[in-house]
Amino acid sequence: MYNVIVLAEQALTAADADEVASLHSAIEDQRHYHVLIPCDNAAVRVETALGSLAASEVLAVPPVAANQADVERAQAEIEAEAQNAVATSVSALRALGAEASGGFSSQDPIESLEHVAREQFADEVIVLTRPHVVQEFLHLDWSSKARRRLGVPVLHLVEHEASPPVGGR
């Protein structure tokens, strides 16, 4: 079995899935794609916002308290969007006759990728993102980070259609 992990910022479109699957058409082994969609962590987002607000107290902006129930509700919404993106991506690959599974994570994308790549015995990783010119130039993008951490080939592809990413990324 040839295992490919696809780290994507948002749901794969039909065109994205077709491009990914076409890369492996010459491989005779059965292929399995595992899609990983990173999503925001609501608690971290709130902490960051509160930190920004606390720094602005100098400007007389009143502090805002985060309600734990609101954070949990926000996280549930973010995870529902991410699960939908995973399901859409898996369906797009399966529509091409590929074997596919997927998951999402609100942890650091590269740490999550490393864990999934090890767990799935990855033969290859494909990173599918919008263009990030400055990060790519400085080698701070997901592909560059993955190449440094993983012992498998890493390919970076640019998404075909722009739509809002999962969790505001």
- Counting the structural domains of the chain, the total is 1
Q: What is the pLDDT of residues 141-165, one digit of tens each?
A: 888 999 999 989 999 988 876 455 5
| In a domain? residue 109 | yes
**What pLDDT does 142 receive?**
86
The CATH number linked to 113 is 3.40.50.620
| In a domain? residue 52 | no
**What pLDDT does 71 receive?**
72
pTM for the predicted model, two decimal places: 0.77
Q: What is the pLDDT of residues 50-87, one digit of tens each?
A: 555 455 554 544 444 557 777 788 778 888 899 999 99
CA proximity to 146, closest of 14, 1, 8: 8
Structural domain boundaries, residue 134: 2-41+68-168
**Reduced DSSP (H G I as helix, E B as strand, rest coil) percent helix, strand, coil of the chain, to 5:** 50, 20, 35
Q: What is the pLDDT of residues 98-128, one digit of tens each?
A: 999 999 998 999 999 999 999 999 999 999 9
